[in-house]
Structure 1
Amino acid sequence: MNKIGIFFGTETGTTRLIAKKIHKKLGDELAAKPVNVNRIALDEMLQYDALILGTPSYGIGDIPGRSAGCLEPNWEEFLAQFEHADFSGKRVALFGLGAQERYADRFASSLLRLYEVFKGFGAEIVGSWPTDGYTFDHSAAVVDGRFVGLVIDARTQGMFTDERIDTWLAQVGPLLLEKASAPV
């Protein structure tokens, strides 16, 4: 597809709202409408060569899903379809939510699990994000001194959300569009 696919998992709806903000900033011409992973099959995601994937943080760095206490299917259940998935040639940017004050010891750690899964299935991951401006003790999602994707703390730093999304999209947007519009 010649658009960026946006997919998310959510428990309370906040990740969905961030996915919708990202879509609105990119526009319908560049990005498909965001879709909850509990409503799709793997083939629907594989149609896209450029993807933005979002996750809430759940448990102690767990991938969100029923075994982590989610009430509805989430990333865990979607990823169960991945036995023979191939994301080679796909470019993926990640975003994750977390609460740095409430969960300072595991802030946004679920983002690392998503990173590991998609990287393990051959995706090129883009869009690492600086840890500056956040206050936390530990995050598994920090690799080489940066988050593996955009991190949003809507609870205590909601005032920075739009600015962070804009800055991140300025970074990842051209990389994703390059892949989305590349001839197949």
Structure 2
Amino acid sequence: MSNIGLFFGSDDGNTEGVALRICARLGVERVDLYDIADVTQLEIAGYQQLIFGIPTWDFGQLQSDWEDFWQDLQEIDFSGKTVALFGLGDQFGYGDYFLDAMGMLHDVVTANGAAVVGHWCTEGYEYEASKAEIPGEGKFVGLGIDEDQQEELTGERMNRWCRQIAEEFGLKGGAGAIKELDD
């Protein structure tokens, strides 16, 4: 078992693709990758450091596999665990619900005791409202990705966020151990 468990849900492949790219940056030897459709509570509970990836669908809805797992997720004790979040959304097509699923996921894990790291600046995004925005701080609860409108920014955003969470997770070598990729 690696240091970090990365759990994602993906219907169209975008969130899975981002999850794979995050693993490449952090180092595959450090990260175990799971599709949320195929896991149990015990697999999540086995990690002290977790990364969750979730897209927002339509008008602020959960991705289908996360929705199926939601009740199980609400029963997990996250006390003593450190969690980083990344979310995908479309800030122009669904600007009133941008990254809402990531905000809902944040609310569940923090209510169950998790310490959340990897907060991300809202600068550079254009949206109307988001459940993932921390009120008054100019930050999201995790990394925001828009593969529909800002795909060209995804690689650099992931590079910076992975350096940040490497430090916040206390990984050996910290930010210097992260692979900078140009994908």
Contact kept, 8 Å, 2:91 with 2:146, in 1: the verdict is yes
Q: Say which SS state the counterpart of residue 57 (structure 1) adopts.
A: strand
Query: Does residue 165 in structure 1 map to residue 164 in structure 2?
Result: no
Shift of 1:154: 0.7
Matches within 5 A, 1:10-21: 10-21=10-21
Deviations 1:88-147 (A, max 9, x none): 000000000011111111111111100001111111111111111111111121113211
Q: Which runs of 5+ in 2 are unaligned?
A: 173-183
Name 2:53's counterpart in structure 1: 54
More strand by share: 2
Structure 1 length-normalised TM: 0.86
Matches within 5 A, 1:114-129: 114-129=105-120
- Over 3 Å counting, the alpha-carbon distance change for 1:99 and 1:84 in structure 2 is closer
Structure 2: which amino acid aligns with 1:141? Answer: A
Structure 2 length-normalised TM: 0.87
Shift of 1:2: 4.7
Name 1:70's counterpart in structure 2: none
Contact kept, 8 Å, 1:4 with 1:177, in 2: the verdict is no
Name 2:93's counterpart in structure 1: 102
Q: Matches of 1:90 and 1:62 in 2, distance apart?
A: 26
Percentage of pairs with the same residue: 38
Q: Which runs of 5+ in 1 are unaligned?
A: 66-73, 180-184
Name 1:151's counterpart in structure 2: 144
Q: Kindly tell me the number of residue pairs found equivalent between the two proteins.
A: 170
Shift of 1:7: 0.4
Contact kept, 8 Å, 2:100 with 2:132, in 1: the verdict is yes
Q: CA RMSD in A?
A: 1.6
